[in-house]
Chain A
Amino acid sequence: QKEVEQNSGPLSVPEGAIASLNCTYSDRGSQSFFWYRQYSGKSPELIMSIYSNGDKEDGRFTAQLNKASQYVSLLIRDSQPSDSATYLCAVKPPGGSYIPTFGRGTSLIVHP
């Protein structure tokens, strides 16, 4: 059973702080990992993808992947109230399936 686990939150951080969102997955050998942001009432929007162990930075966002420990995280530096949203982790399982498995998402609240 493929599983992607996220703490549902809410994770509350003050403006300007670093928000750390975590995701663990059960399918060892998974190769592709994605973070989506979903504002209330809107559709998921891809913000980061990562395929190799280590860090990948894009502006204020950093994705971190550790395949040995089977977790992927998303750091948001200098958090802004506009970052308040639900963050969904998605993992593509190994093998021929191209359909990613989504976690249930972590709600992030950035308060002024």
Chain B
Amino acid sequence: DTAVSQTPKYLVTQMGNDKSIKCEQNLGHDTMYWYKQDSKKFLKIMFSYNNKELIINETVPNRFSPKSPDKAHLNLHINSLELGDSAVYFCASSRREANEQYFGPGTRLTVT
């Protein structure tokens, strides 16, 4: 049983397109996150979502938007994709108080 799953694993698309990445966790956690890991391997928090409280990293362009239909899902929608959006995107989840995060397998996004 996969604890945190993401789809798709690979995403190749052209500049200007809109795309979504889906994330689901079956751990019963109450908090989910999206991270971006660039080519230098730095793991940068983009969003966290807990009980309808959304915390946004202010450096994230508003072309990126998280959508959470329920506690087990946090999807990432990206509008007007740019070359600089190419990276690996990780979803993670945790219990809010515990902070021990469990990561999904990642989605490698390539914008051409």
Contact = CB atoms under 8 A, between A and B. Distances in A.
24 contacts: A34-B99, A34-B100, A34-B101, A38-B41, A43-B104, A44-B43, A45-B103, A46-B102, A49-B100, A92-B99, A98-B31, A98-B94, A98-B96, A98-B97, A99-B45, A99-B48, A100-B99, A102-B42, A102-B45, A104-B40, A104-B41, A104-B42, A105-B42, A105-B43
A92 B99 CA distance: 8
Contacts, number: 47
Contacts of B96: 98
A24 B103 CA distance: 23
A43 B90 CA distance: 7
State which size class the interface on A falls in: 10 to 19
Contact of A44 (B42, B45, B55, B103): B103
Interface string B67-107: 00000000000000000000000100010110111111110
Nearest to A51: B99
Interface of B: 31, 33, 40-43, 45, 48, 50, 55, 90, 94, 96-97, 99-106
